[in-house]
Amino acid sequence: MAVREVEDIFTDIIDRTKTLDPANVRKWFDELTVLHLNGGSLGIGCPNEATAQFLQDNCKRSFILAAQQVTGYLITVDFGVSISEKSDGSSRRFASGSGDLVLQKKHKIAPLKLHPDYTFDNFVVGPSNRLVHASCVAVSQSPGNTYNPLFIYGNSGLGKTHILHAVCFEAQRKSNGAVIQFLSCEDFVNRFIRAIEEGDLSGFQSQFRTVDMLVIDDVQFLREREHSQEEFFHTFNALYNNGKQIILSADSPPGKIPSLEERLISRFNWGLVTRIDPPSYETRVAIVQKKAHLRSLDISDEIAEYIARKLHANIRELEGALTTICAVATTTDKAIDLELAQIALEGQIKAAIRHISITDIIEVVTSHFDVRLADLQSKKRSQSITEPRQICMYLARNLTKHSLEEIGGHLGGRDHTTVMHACSKIGQAQKSDPQMHALLGELTKQITQTPKA
C-alpha cells in the first residue's frame, strides 16, 4: 500500500472512531500515528504509555469497529508507544513491520498504570483543593523529604485519585528510574490474599517494601481487615524507616476510619493530613472548561456556567454532563449551543432530583416498540418481544437503583441471571451498534424528560 493511502485510511479510521465513541475522544488523538497497517493488523502509535494504556482499556472495541467499517475487513488493533523521530532526524516509517511498535505486553516490568487525563496540568486548583495540590506538588518534587506520609481525604468524586496519578506522573518524570507502586487499597488487599494462597508472601513483601514511593488509594478499604492491616503496618514501617515516600487517600481522616488499628491511625497522622473539599462555582466552571478542552470540545462560557450552576454534588457529574452533551450533539448531528446543552441535560438534571421508576421505563419502551406490557411479561420469545424486554431490563439497571431480582420481577418474574444476560447483551450492542446506541440515547431522553404529575 502506498504511504499516502495508509495515512488517508488511518485518518478515516480516527474520524470514524470519534463518532462511534465521542465520550472517549481526547485532544491527543491528533497525535496518534499509524505504525503499520498490513496483514489484517493495525498498529497505532501513541504519545506515551499512559495514552496507549487508555486506548487499550477504553477504546479498543471502537477502533476495531471503525477499522472494519472503513476498510471492509476484519482488522485487529494494537496500541503501543511510538518511538518517534529517530535520532538521525529521519521521520517515522509508515506501513512498515511492527518494528517501530513497542507493545505494552512486551514490557518486562509491569508499567505504572496511570490515566493520561489525570495530570497536574489537567487539575484545576481552587480554594477547595489548594492545600492538597500544594502538598502533592511538593511531594512529587522531593519524595520522602517533605510530608511523609501524605494523607489526603475527602468525599467521593472530588479528585483524590486524579491528584495521586498526577503525583506519580511527576515523580516518575523527575526521578527517571525510581520505583513507584501505585494501587488501590483493594488491589493491595487482594494481592496480599493471593500471595498467602500461593504461599509467596516473601514475593509480595519484597514488591512493596523495596519501592521508592508507595501510593495507595482509598485506604478506608482496610477497615475490619485485621490481617491486611497488620501486613500494611509492616510495609509502612519498612518504607518509612528507609525514608521512602508514602501517599495515602481515604474518604475520611485516619481517626474516622472504622476499626482501623490505633497504631496505623497514629502513623497516618505522622506526616501531613489534608482535606479536599467540594469545589466552588468558579472552580466548577474552570473544571468544565478544562475537561471540554481535553476532549477538543468547543463549548461557550455560557454553557460551562450553565453546567456548573446546575450540577454541584461532585465533579464526576460535571464530566457526565459533558459526555451527555457530546453524545446528543453527535447523534443529532447538531452544533453544541446552549439550547442543545439545556435539552441534553434536562434529563440528567431532572434525574438528579427525581426518582425514575421501572414503570416509567416500561411505558416509554412499550410505546416505542408498540408492544403491550402483558407481552413483555409473557413467556413469548420472538425477537419483536425479546428485544424490548431486554432493553427494559438494561435501562432499569442503568437508570434505577432496583436489584436484578426486582427488575426480573417486574418483567414476568424472570430470575436475576436472565436480567444479567440481557444487560450485558444490550450493553455490548450499545457499544458495537451505532443504531442501538442512538435508540438507547433516545429512549433515555424520553424516560428522563417525561414530565411527572
- Summarize as ranges the residues that interact with Mg ion (CB under 5 A): 160-161
Mark the segment that binds ligand ADP (CB under 6 A) among 64-72, 264-272, 315-323, 437-445. 315-323
Among 130, 191, 209, 290, binds ligand ADP (CB under 6 A): 290
Closest approach, Cβ 291 to ligand ADP, in A, equals 7
CB atoms within 10 A of CB 20: 22
Q: Which is nearer to ligand ADP, 291 or 414 (CB)?
A: 291
| Distance in Å, CB of 217 to ligand ADP, minimum | 7
**Nearest approach, Cβ of 316 to ligand ADP (angstroms)?**
5
Listed in sequence order, the residues at least 6 apart from 242 whose beta carbon sits closer than 8 Å to its beta carbon are none
d(CA 422, CA 91): 49
> Which of the listed partners (ligand ADP, Mg ion, none) does 67 bind, with a CB threshold of 5 to 8 Å by partner kind?
none
Q: Which is nearer to ligand ADP, 66 or 139 (CB)?
A: 139
DSSP per-residue letters across 185-251: HHHHHHHHHHHHHTT-HHHHHHHHHT-SEEEEE-GGGGTT-HHHHHHHHHHHHHHHHTT-EEEEEES
Nearest-angstrom CA–CA distance, 124 and 279: 10
149: which DSSP letter? Answer: S
* Contact positions with ligand ADP (CB under 6 A) in 116-135: 117-118, 122-124, 129
- Residue number of the CB closest to ligand ADP reads 159
H-helix or E-strand spanning residue 399: helix 383-399
Q: Note whether 315 binds ligand ADP by CB under 6 A.
A: yes
CB of residue 153 vs ligand ADP: minimum separation in angstroms?
9
Q: At what angle do helices 160-175 and 130-141 cross, to 10 degrees?
A: 20
129 binds, among Mg ion, ligand ADP, none (CB under 5 to 8 A by kind): ligand ADP
159 lies in the site for ligand ADP, by CB under 6 A: yes
Min separation Cβ 159 and ligand ADP, Å: 3
Is 194 among the residues that bind ligand ADP (CB under 6 A)?
no
CA torsion, points 24, 25, 29, 35, in degrees to nearest 10?
A: 50
Cell of 44: 497505532
Which value, in Å, is the radius of gyration of the alpha carbons in the chain?
25
Instruction: For the CB of residue 122, give the shortest distance to ligand ADP in the complex, in Å.
Output: 6
CB of 183 to Mg ion, least distance (A): 12
Give the DSSP letter string of 46-73: ESSHHHHHHHHHHTHHHHHHHHHHHHSS
Among 34, 81, 158, 321, binds ligand ADP (CB under 6 A): 158
- Segment lying near ligand ADP (by CB under 6 A), choices 34-42, 58-66, 98-106, 152-160: 152-160
Angle between helices 416-432 and 383-399 (to 10 degrees): 90
Residues 399-408 as b/e (b if ≥16 CB within 10 A, e otherwise) read bbebebeebb
- Give the residues lining the site for ligand ADP (CB under 6 A): 117-118, 122-124, 129, 156-162, 287, 290, 315-316, 319
